[in-house]
Structure 1
Amino acid sequence: MLNFGAFFVLVYVAAQLLPSSIAASIMALAPLALAGLAWPLLAQRPTARWAVGAALGLAGVALVVGLGTGAVPLAGVVASAVALLASSLGAILTTRWKDDTPLLATTSWQLTAGGLALVAVALTVEGAPPTVDATGLAAYVGIAVIATALAFVCWFTGLRHLPAGTVGLIGLLNPVTGVLLGVAVGGESLAPPQVLGIVLVLVSIAVSSRTRGRNLPPQGERSDPAQRRYDRIDT
């Protein structure tokens, strides 16, 4: 419910209430939330190198999305902030409670459980879903398979191999990707502050990626073949 059920609903509520720049800026606080929760729950203490990367990354996101907006609905800010905290806590607990169950299985069951819960709530509150055409169906498939299933497999894989704060910093590529897609697909243009912001985000990831102390189990507990391959590569 933290990773998928509550998170998806709150994200879409925030998207309807907030300008995209404000929503992206709030979600850009994910590195701070993840690192703050990982310290007491996973014993992953933030390093000075990570702090420098986080500061650069947050500054970069502010330049990329811009903050020049009018009145901001409080309900949208609350929805976005709660979504951020729910997702961060869910990610940390998924890492804390991991076992030898394969990553694809844990991700699939979480998606299934969260989806079934949302279906039950949606049917109760909104009734049957609207009819969609072929284009809408293709969009649903793309969102479900690529933007959700594949994305969360990558997300949880990163949490198995990297400190939570570092994974959060990599997530700062979200607004960067959105801006670059706007340029490539929508014919938009980049302002100089946005270019500087993208550079700062990339630098922040490069700085934090050198942080040591990956959250790996002891050698004897690494029974997952994918984990063993990763260990050999890391060694």
Structure 2
Amino acid sequence: MSSNRVVADSALTALAPAIWGSTYLVTTEFLPPDRPLLAGMIRALPAGLVLLVLGRTLPKGIWWGRALVLGVLNIGAFFYLLFVAAYHLPGGVAALVMSIQPMLVLMLSALLLKDKVKPVHVAACVLGAAGVGLLVLQPNAGLDAVGVGAGLLGAVSMASGIVLTKRWGRPEGVGLLTFTGWQLTVGGLVLLPITLVGEGLPDRLTGENLGGFAYLGLIGALFAYAVWFRGVERLPALAVSFLSFSSPLAATLLGWFVLDQSLSPLQLAGALTVVAAVVLAQPRPARRKAPQAEPESGPQAKEPVRA
């Protein structure tokens, strides 16, 4: 894989978690209050059904079970826990809690994918966690036990989904959008009855609510997950997980641009540290060794100089 190809794949894949970083802002500013199940279900199910209709292909054999597992880990459970964290924590802090994901992927990749843990990976984990800490942990940062717990469980769910997606791959002959549609549909269907029983439907939805749901479904789910699973296929699992650091970066920058939140010098240093960690963890193409010249032979070969 060429260096240009790696950079392009990494940059495109990083769009997905950057978009997910906007989830915290959209949740607090546009969605109905205290509706994490409804938010997760509406974000997943409509987009999944659209892709399912377009693909017109259902799972077969063992892929029914795999689609269920991946749909719950990558979509259903993750969406619910993500919105719980978004409702209970400031955006940057919620993203910080979930930034343990690369460390979890590091361990799971070693166990399930037999990936070799390199010192550069450990260094990138430490560097990324430190950078996110500088980025979002301020003296006035609000911490809530429910939000922190949901963020940690969300990180476990997504990390498990990344590694299993990498291990199982994609069924032969099934397109990327169809594969994405399976998981979004499964995640939404799992959340649907729980939403109806646990939260019910709101009495009314405002134009802002509908706009927020439309953004999360079309951009935050349909587009972002298609890009994300494309990256999971093409890049190492650990490299993909490090791209999730762009989520707290995006959440903090959106707070700065949209909510007029100030950025301190420490936060700017944290942002640069996060970028450095992401770059450090990305794969680099192996350098091709220059072909060695064959030793001369025959009558024109020079005799070695003797002392």
Same fold, TM-score > 0.5, yes or no: yes
Task: Return 18-27 or 146-155, whichever deviates more.
Answer: 18-27
Contact in 1 for aligned 2:91/2:248 (Cα 8 Å): no
| Residue in structure 2 matched with residue 37 of structure 1 by the alignment | 108
Cα offset, 1:131, TM superposition: 2.2
Secondary structure, aligned partner of 2:73: coil
SS at match of 2:109: helix
> Could you report, residue by residue, the CA deviation over 1:161-212 in whole angstroms, capped at 9, with x for unpaired residues?
1111111111101111122222333333321001111111111122111456
Q: Tell me the C-alpha RMSD between the 2 structures.
A: 2.1
Query: What does residue 96 of structure 1 align with?
Result: 167
Instruction: Give the count of matched residue pairs.
Output: 213
Q: Aligned pair in 2 of structure 1 residues 24, 128: CA closer, same or farther (>3 Å)?
A: closer
- The C-alpha deviation readout for 1:64-112, integer Å capped at 9, x for no partner, is 1015357844333222211111111122112211232221111111101
Any idea what SS the aligned residue of 1:172 has? helix
CA distance in 2, matches of 1:94, 1:54: 21
Per the alignment, residue 77 of structure 1 pairs with 148
Q: Is the 8 A contact 2:92 2:251 kept in 1?
A: no
The aligned residue for residue 22 of structure 1 is 93
Q: Once the 2 structures are TM-superposed, how far is the Cα of residue 114 of structure 1 from its aligned partner?
A: 0.9
Whether the aligned pair in 2 keeps the contact of 1:46 and 1:165 (CA below 8 Å) is no
2:239 aligned to which of 166, 171, 176 = 166
Q: 1:186 to 1:16 in 2, by over 3 A?
A: closer
Query: Which residue of structure 1 aligns with residue 184 of structure 2?
Result: 111
Q: Among residues 253, 256, 268, which one is paired with 1:180 in the alignment? A: 253
Q: Does 1:56 align with 2:147?
A: no
Counterpart contact for 2:96–2:133, Cα < 8 Å? yes
Kept in 2: contact 1:22–1:67 (CA 8 A): no
Counterpart-to-counterpart distance in 1, 2:221 and 2:144: 27
Partner in structure 2 of residue 125 of structure 1 = 198
1:153–1:74: structure 2 CA closer, same or farther, 3 Å change rule? same
Task: Provide TM-score, normalisation by structure 2.
Answer: 0.64
- The residue type paired with residue 204 of structure 1 is A
Q: Identity percentage over the alignment?
A: 33
Change (3 A) 1:68 1:24: farther
Which is higher, the Rg of structure 1 or of structure 2?
A: 2
CA distance in 2, matches of 1:90, 1:106: 14
Partner of 1:146: 219
Segment of structure 1 superposing worse, 166-175 or 6-15: 6-15
Q: What are the Cα deviations for residues 6-35 of structure 1, in whole angstroms up to 9, with x where unaligned?
A: 111112222233344432221111110112
Aligned residue for 1:233?
Answer: none
- C-alpha distance in 2 between matches for 1:14 and 1:44: 31
The unaligned stretches of length 5 or more in structure 2 are 1-71, 287-307
Deviations 1:99-132 (A, max 9, x none): 3222111111110111112112111222334421
Cα offset for 1:36?
Answer: 1.2
Are the structure 2 counterparts of residues 67 and 41 from structure 1 closer, same or farther at C-alpha, using a change threshold of 3 Å? farther
Q: Which amino acid aligns with 2:180?
A: T
